[in-house]
Structure 1
Amino acid sequence: MDVPIKKKRFNTSRIAIIIGITLFLLLLIFVFISSTGNSKLKVNSERITISEIKKGTFQENIPVNGVVLPITTIYLDALEGGRVEEKFVEDGAIMKKGDPILRLSNTDLELSLINQETSVYNLLTQMQMTQNAARQNTINRLNQKTDVENAYIEAERVYKLNKKLFEKGVIARMEFEESENNYTYQKQRIELANQVVTEDAIAVKQELGQAKNSYARTQSALELMRKKVGDLIVRAPVDGQLTSLNAEFGESKNKGDRLGQIDVLSGFKVRVDIDEYYISRIYTGQYGMYTLAGKEYKLLIKKVYTQVANGRFQVDMEFEKEVPDGIRRGQSLQMRIALSDEKQSILVPKGGFFQQTGGNWIFKVSEDGTSAYKVDVQLGSQNTEYYEVLQGVAPGDKVITSSYDNYKEIQELILE
């Protein structure tokens, strides 16, 4: 008779399954505890930056870049078009006011000058002929007046003599009346002659005045034409350095074309690019600081260009007093522009921690320096060196300010 074999309750495969399920549950419990509990991470103290919270003078400022430019730049444009015939200097030359830079040629303009000079000469000749004719006419009028005056004097003498003789009865009435009529006629002639001479003098004066005005206008037009021809020689308008000269032999230039510029070397300004975010906080009179070789130089904003291009706008700044030695046109400067007045604040040095925390929390080092833990903070304004702390830490506290790239989920750092 066969004996039934009792089946085992736990075999090897079942035991393995139970162990696997148990380990999986333990792993889930560990992960849950790790994610909800106070996770820690050991770090090397030499690989992090520990900074001390302190109270000090704070001023909000922004770092900006600027380019050194001459304080005044005068552009050279072609006042008249023409062909480049001669260059007297090269780009970069130091110029004095009135020094020639280049010469253009314009045959049409030069021909117009010759025609204008001919017109002036013809007008001058005509005016001289008019003056001679007027002078001759005046002489004739005066000669006629002299004849009339002589006739009047003789008629007056005869009239007075005949009047006496008539009163004495020596001559007849007819002879007396004849002399009287002649006297009256000559008297009218002399009055007419005087009037003619007076009116002739006025007419001659007016005619000569008109001729002179016409000649003066033509002469002014000639001077203007000469100036236009003279403008074919481009000269330095002020003392300075010639830059950006754009002209080559034989090249044709149109009226108004840019030929170059003169940089006045009496001073420098700095043209600064600023993010448009700050456009409402930038104004003339605001100052910035530039540091060179440990020495600070103060600059003032003189002009704000409100046009925004590619998210940025520009300002012109000038050194308030001293200008750094050796500064050159085109040189790039890094400076800070102050956005607020100085005040006393709690400060934390700037560092890589801000990129991960957004200024909402920070690792605070324990008093014994063996660990660091998360604390909530609130940061305010910033400058190139510090953040302003509004709450969360106090002066004397030590915090980690280096990058938190690997610490986002960590609650506590163990410092070794």
Structure 2
Amino acid sequence: MSKRAKIILAIVAILFAAVLVWFAKKNKKNVVEYETEKPFKTTIVKKTVATGKVVPLEEVEIKPQIAGIVDRILVEEGQVVKAGDLIATVRVVPNVEALNSANNEIKNAQLSYENAKTQFDRNRSLFEKGVISRQEFENSELSFNNAKQRLSNAKSNMDIVKRGTTAGLGNAANTNIRATSSGMIVEIPVKRGYQVIQSNSFNAGTTIATIADMNKMIFEGKVDESEVGKLVRGTKLQVSLGAIEDKKFPAILNFIAPKGTEEAGAVQFKIKADVTLDDSNFIRAGYSANADIVLEKKDDVLAIKEALLRFDKKTEKPYVEIKKEDGKFEKKELELGISDGVNIEVKSGVTTTDEIKIWNKASKDKKDEEKDN
């Protein structure tokens, strides 16, 4: 073989080797290095948040006992009143039919009275002359007194139809609207000149004012059906108000509705809790509020971050990968407990010395390569 042929063959061999090296480098994958974390001991608290509002424990609606027009309102919203205080007065607008009936009743009673009086005067004169007996005289006297009373009643009825009250009733006048309990006036939905309807067996009546004890407030909220079964009366809550920042009020759960209501496809159950107030903040009725409710709490339990978990596609069982001595990772199935959304309890499967793979955290070289590509 000539010298020239040898040189060409050597060049071809070198080029072939270079190509092989180039392909080897291109197809070679960097070894992915994963960071690890160890399980740890911690306290896990599982909570839920109930949205709602803060309202007075007791609210009393004051309603009139007679229909009419509001003549005067003597209080303002926010004013504190005592039971029996005058709140408003109502001016009666007479009903034409009732007025006509009362007027006819007076006329009939007047005729009966005059007739009974005539008979009584005549019988009294005859009794004094000894013409009639005492029994007959007393009967005529009784008839006269009854007629007199009926006339008085008819006139009183006329006063009630016209003015809503009559002489002799004193503080029981229907036109005077008084507070039936002590507290703060939180709402006056009517104004002077409004027409109101009395409360009776067939009608709730028009509300003149609402009185509430602002020193006794409760939280009213709703929880989902998936969590209501874990609630018990007496559970402690922390209530935060939208109107008061960085402040939480302690509360105790005292009511869980036995029946839920469907809202937007989910069943919600009403709850109530007694809120403990302080003197530094005035809580107004209707403040929007959120209540933090502890559903379950475990102290000093073995836990890992939920981000470390994976689930088997076939069995759907949770697992993690544990680093072995040779640097490789081994799959370990876990038995899990409660979670707070960040950390989750591990009942079995790992120990505090195990190193658990942190997913999707490759080495720097791998990231740089992916960036270049």
Match of 1:99 in 2: 85
Aligned with 1:89 (options 75, 78, 84): 75
Secondary structure, in 3 states, of the residue corresponding to 1:53? strand
Is 1:264 matched with 2:213? yes
Please give the secondary structure, in 1, of the residue aligned with 2:120.
Answer: helix
CA 1:387–1:19: 2 relative to 1, 3 Å: closer
Following superposition, the deviation at residue 72 of structure 1 comes to 0.5
Q: CA 1:361/1:91 → structure 2, altered by over 3 Å: closer, same or farther?
A: farther
For residues 380 and 267 of structure 1, what CA distance do their matches in structure 2 show? 39
Match of 2:253 among 300, 303, 310: 300
Give the 3-state SS of the residue equivalent to 1:64 in structure 2.
strand
TM-score in terms of structure 2 length: 0.59
Name the aligned partner's letter for residue 299 of structure 1. Answer: I
Q: Percent identity?
A: 13
From 107, 129, 132, the counterpart of 2:114: 129
Shift of 1:315: 1.5
- SS of the equivalent of 1:41 reads coil
Alignment gaps of 5+ in structure 2: 167-172, 198-204, 241-245, 365-373
CA distance in 1, matches of 2:67, 2:342: 56
Measure the CA separation in 1 of the matches of 2:15 and 2:261: 79
Q: Name the larger-Rg structure.
A: 1
* CA offsets 1:299-355 (integer angstroms, 9 cap, x no match): 132352733434443222125xx6444451345555443546x77773548x67389
Could you say what the CA RMSD is over the residues aligned between the two structures, in angstroms?
5.6
Task: Pick the aligned partner of 1:353 from 304, 307, 327.
Answer: 307
Are the equivalent residues in 2 in contact too, given 1:64–1:336 (CA < 8 A)?
yes
In 2, the alpha carbon distance for the partners of 1:209 and 1:399 equals 105
CA contact (8 A) 1:61 1:382 kept: no
Q: Residue in 2 aligned with 1:379? A: 336
Partner of 1:317: 273
CA drift of 1:94 comes to 1.6
- Identify the residue that residue 40 of structure 1 maps to in structure 2: 33
Q: Which string of whole-angstrom CA distances, capped at 9 and with x for unpartnered residues, describes residues 113-144 of structure 1? A: 97787667656644543542453464477579
Contact 2:56–2:216 under 8 Å retained in 1: yes
**Aligned counterpart, 1:68:** 54
How far the C-alpha of 1:101 sits from its partner, in A, is 3.7
Q: Number of matched residues? A: 329
Q: Which has the higher contact order (CA 8 A, sep 6+)?
A: 1
TM-score, reference length from structure 1: 0.54
> Secondary structure of 2:212's match?
strand
Q: How far off its partner does 1:67 sit? A: 2.9
TM superposition shift of 1:90: 2.7
Q: 1:238 aligns with which of 156, 166, 181?
A: 181
In structure 2, the residue matched to 1:52 is: 40
How many Å apart are 1:66 and its aligned residue? 4.8
Query: Per-residue displacement from partner, 1:230-286 (whole Å, max 9, x unpaired)?
Result: 655544332211123334455x44534555421123522121232232244446x34
Cα distance in 2 between the residues matched to 1:53 and 1:110: 80
Q: 2 CA distance for matches of 1:272 and 1:387?
A: 28
